[in-house]
Amino acid sequence: MTIRIGVDVGGSFTDFAVLDTTSGKVTTLKVFSRPDDPGAEIMLALDILRDRDGLHADAVTGFAHGTTVGINTVIQRNGEALALFTTRNFEDVLEVARLKIPQIHNLYSRRPAPLIRRECVFGIDERTLASGDILAAPRRDDVTAAVEAARALGCRGMVIAFLHAYRNPANEQAVKAMIAEIAPDMAVVASAETWPIIREYERTITAVISGYVRPRVSHYLDRFEDRLRQRGVVCPLLITKSNGGVMGLDQARAECVQMILSGTASGVIGAGHLARASGFDRVLSLDIGGTSADVAVIVDGEPQYGVGETIGDFHIHIPSVSVSSVGQGGGSIAWVDDLGVLQVGPKSAGSTPGPACYGRGGVAPTITDAMAVQNLIGHLPLGYGAVSVDHAAARAAFAPLAERLDSPVELVAADVLAIAVSGMFAEVSGLISRFAIDPREFHLFAFGGAGPMLACFLARELDLKGIVVPPAPGVVSAFGGLIADLKNDFIATLYREATSEAMEEVAGVFGTLVGRARAWLEQQGHEGPGALRLSADMRYAGQSFEIETPIESTWVDSPDLDSLRSAFHGEHARVYGHADTEGAVQIVNLRVVIMAATPKPSLVKPDGATGPLQPTLTVAAHFYGRPHQVPVFVRDDIRPGHRVPSPAIIAQDDTTTVIPPGFATEVDRFGNLVITRDRR
């Protein structure tokens, strides 16, 4: 027997999805995360899988891992102390940024402090023109002085981001070589190597984030690899990427920025695969873990992609699955501000100490505790037996809030859920507007440890078509890492008007990018050409922003300017509702994505119902602050053809699905819970 393993390390739990490549069977597991000892949870899980299922390390032929270490480093601002070398007189690039404040309607809103202190930014006398010609080369004495000053300020790494380096990176590379001789102990990141895009701030902040997280990411990956090798796992180890693919450890260490949204993207990829295989072509994925709720748009199994995703206080400009995140997860803490207003998050109890009801030392009231106070969870063990919910501890955690607000604990708990759902609603509404979708045409695909708990409450507010809860919702992110394809992005700035004369240069640049893409795939150990996707960032002359437009390779091989322009006009009309077919079109960037598919398991169709569905027990619970007698069902007892009454609670190893009054639930042929709201 050989197996492949997908792992997702979350704020509270670490999830495992294990594929038996012979039988196609997928087994799952959850263990508590260990932020105090990263990697220990993976070792523990391997021991459990060995003892429980007879799965041994020497049988592992694939291991894909999603991690939040990069994004957590940015959020917590505990990354490397960096210096920034920029073109002389452009030292304020991080402070100026894009002159936008985070909340445009809040006059007191402030832009976040840069990740690099202003005194650690050094201007270098060099200049590259927009044409790529070198006007002034950097001098060694200038670089030496900057390195010595940076070291004196305690900087342990350096980022180089020069003007127009996207066009010609020679000056950046020259300075990088000088630093390697002057201070070989200093880690150096060059912006044009990280992501060679035209806009100065966007290129600089992307390189800064890459350098900022590199030491922690590298240390984590080294420990991760060492522990697995010591345990006997000898197969290539893969890391999930922000673009929804996977890459090897060497690339992950060198290009840390590519894995910033590692864990988040895995969940979207897993949800997309399961939704498409189950016949749901339009879904909003809802992944709620211990610290956040993440939502993405998925059409025909394909998530929407973009650049400029928010990482902590900053936007990162690499291709990523477009995900909107809000700081309301199962471990998010409820509190009262100085004005006496009840708030929820973004601070989370995490896995240590965790929600009060977990019995691991937590005392702060969380969203999970709010569910326990209302008796909506905890009637069977959670987390594969790792948690037995302590309802009394949850009520004790909420007692101070209830006293301060002069309200019963059940009503305060209901208010906490309402606030959490309203925060998710605001964020998801923006995503819906961004992609111009009609929510009435979309199902909410709920997963994560807390997604099925809150899905119905959110779907009702958004007026969605329905909710889908897969058979193993708690480990969808781990499953996404298991099935993710090898994938990498390549970009080059062209910045030319789309004319017949420019088509020869377009063909040349695409040829270079395709060559680099195929070489990368070969380096990953894949045999075969892989699948290529070509696109161009285009705009009308005078516009400030581009639209990524898919390109057919035949338009490049046999220059077809008319098809290229027509494709852009069509994409502009789709996005903005109009197009200027006579207007001058500019090609800003050319992009190539290469992909190689990994094996995908087929969905198992469980046996149909043979009799009526019976609850395991009935409990007194609260919905919206009102008492109800609620049946509790075990997920393993629910079969295709069954109908679940409402209200209801459905318990399983990896999560709890909560169905409020006014919803109807059926089970499809794949065992998915399909929940719809009664609109009468």
d(CA 363, CA 420): 19
Task: Out of 68-82, 159-173, 648-662, pick the least confident.
Answer: 68-82
pLDDT bucket at 604, cuts 50 / 70 / 90:
confident
User: Residue 138 pLDDT > 90, yes or no?
Assistant: yes
Cβ atoms of 390 and 358 closer than 8 Å: yes
Cβ atoms of 539 and 588 closer than 8 Å: yes
Cβ atoms of 506 and 590 closer than 8 Å: yes
Strand pairing report for 3-9 and 60-66: parallel
pLDDT of residue 512: 96
Highest mean pLDDT among 70-84, 239-253, 407-421 belongs to 407-421
Strand partners, 535: 550, 591
Task: Out of 427-431, 501-505, 568-572, pick the least confident.
Answer: 427-431
Place of tokens 């004790």: 396
Instruction: List strand residue ranges (DSSP E) for 33-99, in order.
Output: 60-66, 82-87
Domains of the chain: 3-73+217-236 (3.30.420.40), 77-216 (3.40.1360), 336-418 (no CATH), 486-596 (3.30.1490), 617-677 (no CATH)
pLDDT of residue 430: 80
d(CA 200, CA 197): 8
Closest CA to 665 of 369, 459, 370: 459
pLDDT of residue 436: 77
pLDDT of residue 409: 94
pLDDT of residue 591: 96
Show the tokens assigned to 363.
């005392």
To the nearest 10°, the Cα dihedral for 309, 311, 315, 319? -40
pLDDT of residue 388: 86
Closest CA to 90 of 191, 227, 238: 191
d(CA 595, CA 520): 10
Cβ atoms of 648 and 445 closer than 8 Å: no
pLDDT bucket at 191, cuts 50 / 70 / 90:
very high
pLDDT greater at residue 201 or residue 68: 201
Q: Could you report the per-residue pLDDT of 92-110, keeping only the tens digit for each?
A: 999 998 877 777 777 788 8
* Phi, psi of 364, rounded to the nearest 5 degrees: -80, 140
- CA torsion sign for 302, 305, 311, 316 is positive
Cβ atoms of 18 and 62 closer than 8 Å: no
d(CA 161, CA 581): 37
The helix-helix angle for 409-434 and 391-405 (nearest 10°) equals 90
Q: What is the DSSP letter of 137?
A: P
Mean pLDDT confidence for 35-48: 83
- CA torsion sign for 297, 302, 308, 310 is positive
d(CA 178, CA 173): 9
Strand partners, 387: 382
d(CA 671, CA 668): 5
User: Residue 68 pLDDT > 70, yes or no?
Assistant: yes
pLDDT of residue 103: 72
Cβ atoms of 317 and 197 closer than 8 Å: yes
Mean pLDDT confidence for 97-124: 86
User: Residue 25 pLDDT > 90, yes or no?
Assistant: no
pLDDT of residue 520: 92
Give CA separation, 232 vs 15, 58, 229, 237, 674, in Å: 20, 6, 5, 12, 42
Show the tokens assigned to 25.
């069977």
Q: Could you report the per-residue pLDDT of 214-229, keeping only the tens digit for each?
A: 998 898 888 889 889 9
Instruction: List strand residue ranges (DSSP E) for 127-233, in order.
Output: 127-128, 134-136, 157-161, 187-190
Give CA separation, 76 vs 44, 71, 157, in Å: 27, 9, 19
Closest CA to 70 of 286, 341, 273, 256: 256
User: Residue 76 pLDDT > 80, yes or no?
Assistant: no
Strand pairing report for 82-87 and 13-20: unpaired
pLDDT of residue 680: 59
Q: Could you report the per-residue pLDDT of 616-625, keeping only the tens digit for each?
A: 999 999 998 8
pLDDT of residue 572: 94
pLDDT of residue 350: 77
- CA torsion sign for 91, 92, 94, 98 is negative
Q: Could you report the per-residue pLDDT of 278-295, keeping only the tens digit for each?
A: 999 999 999 988 878 889
Give CA separation, 533 vs 139, 253, 274, 536, 615, in Å: 41, 25, 23, 10, 50
Instruction: Indicate left, alpha or beta for 109 from its phi (over 0: left) and psi (-120 to 50: alpha).
Output: beta
Q: Could you report the per-residue pLDDT of 317-343, keeping only the tens digit for each?
A: 888 888 877 778 888 999 999 889 999
Mean pLDDT confidence for 21-36: 82
Show the tokens assigned to 305.
């992609």
pLDDT greater at residue 353 or residue 433: 353
Q: Taking all residues of the chain, what is their mean pLDDT, rounded to a whole number?
A: 91
Cβ atoms of 322 and 305 closer than 8 Å: yes
pLDDT of residue 679: 67
pLDDT of residue 72: 76
Q: Does residue 41 sit in helix, strand or coil?
A: helix
Task: Determine what percent of the chain is predicted with pLDDT higher than 90.
Answer: 59
Helix (H) or strand (E) holding 651: strand 648-651
pLDDT of residue 154: 96
pLDDT bucket at 516, cuts 50 / 70 / 90:
very high
Place of tokens 């997280």: 213
